[in-house]
Amino acid sequence: MKKVFRDTIINIDEQIFDSTFLFDVFFPDYTSVFQRKVIFIKDLLEKKRNEEIIKKTDTFPAMWSEVYSPKDELEIFTEIFENALKNNKKIHIVGITLKEEIDILEAYYEELGFMRADINCFDVDFSVPLITCSCYIENIMWRGSDYKRLGKSIFRNPPIREAGQVKALFKWINRGVIAGLEIQELNNEVKNFLQNQLLEEHILALTLGKILCYNFEDIGFSGKIEEFKIRF
């Protein structure tokens, strides 16, 4: 069995040729007192919930994305981001879904010198930035085209966005800008999804280890850890 650590993968038993990765999955305790304020996009988006569009989602389920519109989310994110910089306050934003948000975050991390030209990715010490962000796993598990097939079962806040936005989340996970992947429950659906992402090389093992655990620890959160195995 091969344990995925922060910067390396090490065989941890005598089964040298065993095709199993062992990951730590971190579940942050956001209720504990902490130096970095945690802000949930969904709480602020709920105040902008569009009741008129909800009436249309029975017939057009993909319109759910506009119940909590990208425009409103970007305005919320931008205000939070700018206030944190202005007031020199450390925050962690939970639940980003938009490329436009990540573009802002990427520019900020580039200003801080975290971009590495040799690997064309960011190598962020997440204890340093004033602003760090994570996304919910559901927002990369599904995309706008899935509303037709799955309907209300994927209605959520923040909403599942269109394919281009989901692709952007994947891209900036792999580029090291998105700090963490928020998982409410490590159920079979989530496990199967994560296994497929690794086997299909959508996310590399070391990157997956960081967004599941180590980046949260670097930010400074406390919480519990659950082990998760992927066989390949």
- Whether the CB-CB separation of 21 and 206 falls below 8 Å is answered with no
Residues 133/178, Cβ–Cβ less than 8 Å: yes
Summarised one tens digit per residue, pLDDT across range 179-209 is 999 999 999 999 999 999 999 999 999 999 9
Nearest CA to 172 out of 217, 121, 127 is that of 121
Confidence class for position 232, pLDDT limits 50, 70, 90: confident
Rounded-to-integer distance, Cα 18 and Cα 16, Å: 6
Q: What is the pLDDT of the chain when averaged over all its residues?
A: 95
Domain segments of the chain as ranges: 25-231
Please tell me the predicted confidence (pLDDT) of residue 16: 66
CA angle, 141 then 211 then 95, to 5°: 55
What's the pLDDT score for residue 3?
94
What is the DSSP-derived secondary structure letter of residue 214? Answer: I
Is the pLDDT at 34 greater than 90? The verdict is: no
CA distance 129 to 113: 11
pLDDT (average), residues 12-37 = 86
CA Rg value for the chain: 18
The share of the chain scoring above pLDDT 70, in percent, equals 99
Question: Quick one: pLDDT at residue 32?
Answer: 83
pLDDT reported for residue 41? 98
The CATH number of domain 25-231 is 3.20.20.140: yes
**pLDDT score, position 18:** 74
Q: What is the pLDDT of residues 39-88, one digit of tens each?
A: 999 999 999 999 999 999 999 999 999 999 999 999 999 999 999 999 99
∠ CA 22-27-29, rounded to 5°:
155
Q: What is the pLDDT of residues 128-173, one digit of tens each?
A: 999 999 999 999 999 999 999 999 999 999 999 999 999 999 999 9
pLDDT tops 90 at residue 35: no
